[in-house]
């Protein structure tokens, strides 16, 4: 895959207010990396030398414990930034999480030190990054609360709603919102096991709330999920 155009780069939130000159400058200091499904742009613990902008495909950001079990922190879609914490500060030397592709993917890799220097003279970039980080903090804090206080059923409902909002493609004919994720993916995103997710989705399919298949979940009644997600008790 070749370098993106300046107009494409403006789809990146952080670059919204960037001048063409700035974008050119950034492109001159970056390179495109294409990798196939299930491989990694970087691993937890790698030196955080680059920040990435996803050009195509999908990436999940995961963290593992010493036993190799893993959780997904978020899903990255095209024109979103990932691996950016290393650029925000001099302290972070390594990535705190891994980035694994869910499909064949390409990303623009920008040197962290270059980007950091650029931010010093470009307040709009620093504010863009703070904006980004604020969003991360709010989402992960909310998910932390859910994990601590809600049951699996509610968390899965919340997760599906969130995924639908981030990626959902409404099929034509009111056929519902289609999500391309395996049971295992959903399990890692909700802090549950593959088995529990499978049972739950089967149950919801029987009730007509969703319709599902291999690595695919189609939300038929989003409102029902919203109800389940907010179910007090």
Partner DNA sequence: CGCCGATTTGAAATTGGTCAAACGGCGTGG
Partner DNA sequence: CCACGCCGTTTGACCAATTTCAAATCGGCG
210 with 219: CB under 8 angstroms? Answer: yes
Q: Which does 202 bind (CB under 5 to 8 A by kind): its own copies, DNA, none?
A: DNA
| 85 near its own copies (CB under 8 A) | yes
Smallest distance from DNA to CB 117, Å: 42
Interface with its own copies, residue 136, by CB under 8 A: yes
List binders of DNA among 95-154 (CB under 7 A): 151-153
Question: What is the separation of C-alpha 59 from the centre of its chain, rounded to a whole number of angstroms?
Answer: 6
Q: Which two tokens stand for residue 24?
A: 């050119």
Q: Is 95 exposed, middle or buried (0-12, 13-18, 19+ CB in 10 A)?
A: buried
From DNA, its own copies, none, interface partner of 97 (C-beta below 5 to 8 A by class) = its own copies
Q: Which does 85 bind (CB under 5 to 8 A by kind): DNA, its own copies, none?
A: its own copies
Q: How far apart, in whole angstroms, are the C-alpha atoms of residue 198 and residue 191?
A: 14
Give which of DNA, its own copies, none residue 123 binds (C-beta under 5 to 8 Å, depending on kind). Answer: its own copies
Question: What long-range pairs does 21-26 form, CB within 8 A, spacing at least 24?
Answer: 22/118, 22/122, 25/118, 26/110, 26/115, 26/118
Q: How many angstroms separate the Cα of 109 from the Cα of each of 75, 199, 216?
A: 18, 40, 30
Binding site residues, DNA, CB under 7 A: 151-153, 182-184, 191-196, 198-199, 201-202, 205, 212-216
Q: Which residues bind its own copies (CB under 8 A)?
A: 63-67, 69, 71, 73, 85, 88-89, 91-92, 96-97, 119-121, 123, 126-127, 129-131, 133-134, 136-138, 140-150, 191, 230, 232-233
């Amino acid at each position: 895959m070749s370098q993106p155009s300046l107009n494409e780069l403006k789809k990146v939130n952080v670059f919204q207010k960037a001048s063409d000159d700035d974008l050119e400058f950034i492109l001159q200091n970056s390179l495109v990396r294409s990798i196939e499904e299930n491989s990694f742009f970087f691993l937890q613990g790698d030196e955080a030398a680059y920040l990435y902008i996803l050009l195509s495909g999908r990436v999940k950001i995961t963290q593992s414990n010493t036993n190799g079990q893993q959780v997904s922190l978020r899903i990255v879609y095209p024109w979103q930034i990932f691996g950016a914490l290393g650029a925000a500060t001099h302290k972070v030397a390594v990535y705190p999480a891994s980035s694994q592709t869910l499909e064949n993917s390409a990303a623009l890799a920008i040197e962290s030190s270059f980007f950091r220097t650029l931010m010093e003279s470009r307040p709009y970039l620093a504010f863009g990054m703070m904006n980004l980080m604020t969003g991360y903090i709010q989402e992960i804090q909310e998910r932390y609360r859910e994990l601590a206080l809600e049951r699996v059923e509610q968390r899965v409902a919340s997760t599906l709603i969130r995924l639908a909002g981030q990626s959902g493609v409404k099929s034509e004919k009111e056929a519902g919102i289609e999500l391309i994720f395996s049971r295992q993916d959903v399990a890692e995103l909700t802090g549950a096991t593959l088995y529990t997710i499978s049972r739950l989705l089967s149950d919801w399919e029987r009730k007509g709330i969703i319709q599902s298949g291999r690595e695919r979940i189609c939300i038929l009644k989003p409102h029902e999920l919203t109800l389940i997600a907010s179910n007090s008790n």
